Structure 1
Amino acid sequence: MEYFKYLRQYVGQKPVILPGSVVIILNENYEILLQKRLNGNWGLPGGLMDLGESFEEVAKREVFEETGLTVANLKLLNVYSGSKYYLKVSNGDELFSATAVYYTKDVSGNLKIDFNESKDMKYFAAGNLPSKLNNNDKGFIEDYVNRK
Structure 2
Amino acid sequence: MDYVKEIRALVGSRPLLLAGVAVLILNEEGQLLMQHRADTRDWGLPAGYMEIGEKPDEAAKREVREETGLAVRKLELVDLFGGKENYILYPNGDEVYSLTAIYQCKEYDGSIQMDEESLALSFFPIR
Q: How would you bin the TM-score normalised by the shorter chain?
A: over 0.9
Structure 1 unaligned segments of length 5 or more: list them. 128-148
Correspondence 1:30 to 2:30: yes
Q: Return the alpha-carbon distance in structure 2 between the equivalents of residues 40 and 7 of structure 1.
A: 24
Cross-structure match for 2:113: 112
TM-score (norm 2): 0.93
2:22 paired with 1:12: no
Structure 1 runs (4+) deviating above 3 angstroms are: none
In the other structure, the counterpart of 2:83 is: 82
- Counterparts of residues 54-69 of structure 1 (less than 5 Å): 54-69=55-70
Of Structure 1 and Structure 2, the greater strand share is in 2
Q: Which moved more, 1:35-44 or 1:69-78?
A: 35-44
SS of equivalent residue, structure 1 residue 91: coil
How much does 1:18 deviate?
1.0
Task: Please report how far the alpha carbon of residue 44 of structure 1 lies from its aligned counterpart in structure 2 after TM superposition.
Answer: 0.5
Q: How far apart are 1:88 and its partner, in Å?
A: 2.0
In structure 1, what is the Cα distance between the partners aligned to 2:5 and 2:33? 28
Bigger relative contact order (CA 8 A; separation at least 6):
2
TM superposition shift of 1:20: 1.0
SS in 1 for 2:74: coil
Structure 2: segments with no counterpart, 5+ residues: none
Code of the residue aligned with 2:97 in structure 1: it is F
- Partner secondary structure for residue 20 of structure 2: strand
**How many positions carry a matched residue from both structures?**
126
CA distance in 2, matches of 1:48, 1:20: 4
TM-score normalized by structure 1?
A: 0.80
CA displacement at 1:47 relative to structure 2: 0.6
User: What amino acid does structure 2 have at the position aligned with 1:91?
Assistant: N
Identity of aligned residues (%): 44
Q: Distance in 1 between matches of 2:94 and 2:42?
A: 19
Q: How far did 1:87 drift? A: 2.0
**SS in structure 1 at match of 2:21:** strand
Residue-by-residue CA offset, 1:6-41 (whole Å, 9 max, x unaligned): 111222221110111010001001110011122542
